[in-house]
Amino acid sequence: MRYLTAGESHGPQLTTIIEGVPAQLELVAEDINVDLARRQGGYGRGRRMQIEKDQVQILSGVRHGKTTGAPIALVVENKDWTHWTKVMGAEPIGEDEEKEVKRKLTRPRPGHADLNGAIKYGHRDMRNVLERSSARETTVRVAAGGVAKKILAQFGIKVGGHVLEIGGVRAENVSYESVEELQVRSEASQVRCLDEEASAKMIEAIDVAKQDGDSIGGVVEVVIENVPIGLGSHVHYDRKLDAKLAAAVMSINAFKGVEIGIGFEAARLPGSQVHDEILWDEEKGYTRKTNRLGGFEGGMTTGMPIVVRGVMKPIPTLYKPLQSVDIETKEPFEASIERSDSCAVPAAAVVAEAVVAWEVANALLETFGQDQMSTIQANVKRHQDDARSF
């Protein structure tokens, strides 16, 4: 599968076109809308989430509730577009109109794509960069991830995400019996944290940051269970599934680090405390005594739950602005403020779920076929039976 996204933060809509979704998959808008609503939630979100109520329109590739195998077009409208039609319109404007169009950006904000993108593409108005580099684009990545989750669900593969850390406050009590339990407990928390005591402290940290005109980041974790053994490949670098997951998580706006399983902790431990011992029984087949490597060996899934964590930096738009330089005058100034969140880590957990689910679903189809669901389901069952008795 593959997809492209298009659209700007304050443009008329966000669009994604997905190619390669198998035929005969049951899919309705609500399958996607549930995650779009989750992305807009979470403590620390800004006023933009009060304006938008993200709902997807399925415009192609689905007929009478089932996919046809054709490309799927998904659209999410921007309600705020009505206030930006003159600023963001596609039609050419004359000199007189150009003077009327306010909000021209010549002052790059530290931590954003503004300056680099302006230099790369030759834009004197950096709104051309800001509008596309905005995290608003993740709306339709979550939509694509909703389709991926629907595919995975047909094979009993479940995806869950939660927050491990915000602003230096770490969750300690994060044990759970299943991804289903993880989902329930995560959604019950305003910050999507499984540790109730840590949740309260995280909310306090977000409140303090907001009062100080500052922002804070954190760490999110995605867990996927019931994954077949052997997704991905060891034979070439660009076929390793763990590498694809790392790239996908790093592609999320403001993410600066990724680890799988115990990740960087492995550098501080002896091998005997890192590698997962192999077990076998007649009912389950091959399993592992532990899951320190997060469900991967050699770029392939081991059958244990996939565990991926991502580090999100604090949002760079601050109400306590940092110093920058105007590209027209070259004079120093304090960076301008665009409407923003004080913390988007809980929302980022939903985006991380989406991009990880997409890569796993894509690997599943690469391994077991991609034309129609019944064929793929038969192939997966045959593989799991073979793996159990291997």
Alpha carbons 387 and 198: distance in angstroms, whole number: 41
Alpha carbons 143 and 149: distance in angstroms, whole number: 10
Helix 241-250 to helix 345-368 angle (10° resolution) is 150
Alpha carbons 216 and 218: distance in angstroms, whole number: 7
Collect the ranges in the chain with pLDDT lower than 70. Answer: 46-51, 98-103, 335-340
The structure tokens 């931590």 sit at 111
Alpha carbons 338 and 377: distance in angstroms, whole number: 47
**HEC sequence for 254-270:** CEEEEEECCHHHHHHCC
Alpha carbons 108 and 325: distance in angstroms, whole number: 7
Q: What is the pTM of this model?
A: 0.95
- Cβ atoms of 316 and 109 within 8 Å: the answer is yes
Which pLDDT does position 269 carry in this prediction?
97
Q: What are phi and psi of 235, to 5 degrees?
A: -80, -20
Alpha carbons 33 and 27: distance in angstroms, whole number: 11
Which pLDDT does position 342 carry in this prediction?
87
- Cβ atoms of 232 and 299 within 8 Å: the answer is yes
Which residues on adjacent β-strands are paired with residue 220?
A: 163, 310
Which pLDDT does position 48 carry in this prediction?
57
Domain ranges, ordered by start, for the chain: 2-389
Taking the C-alpha atoms of 376, 153, 147 and 291 in order, what is their torsion angle to the nearest 10 degrees? -100
Buried b / exposed e over 211-236, threshold 16 CB at 10 Å, is eeebbbbbbbbbbbbebbbbbbbeee
Pairing of strands 296-297, 56-60: unpaired
User: Into which CATH architecture does domain 2-389 fall?
Assistant: 4-Layer Sandwich (3.60)
Alpha carbons 346 and 340: distance in angstroms, whole number: 15
State both tokens at 15.
């669009």
Chain centre to alpha carbon of residue 259: 15
What one-character DSSP code corresponds to residue 228?
Answer: P
Which among 251, 242, 204 has a CA at the least distance from the CA of 351?
Answer: 251
Q: What is the chain's percent helix, strand, coil content, to nearest 5?
A: 40, 20, 40
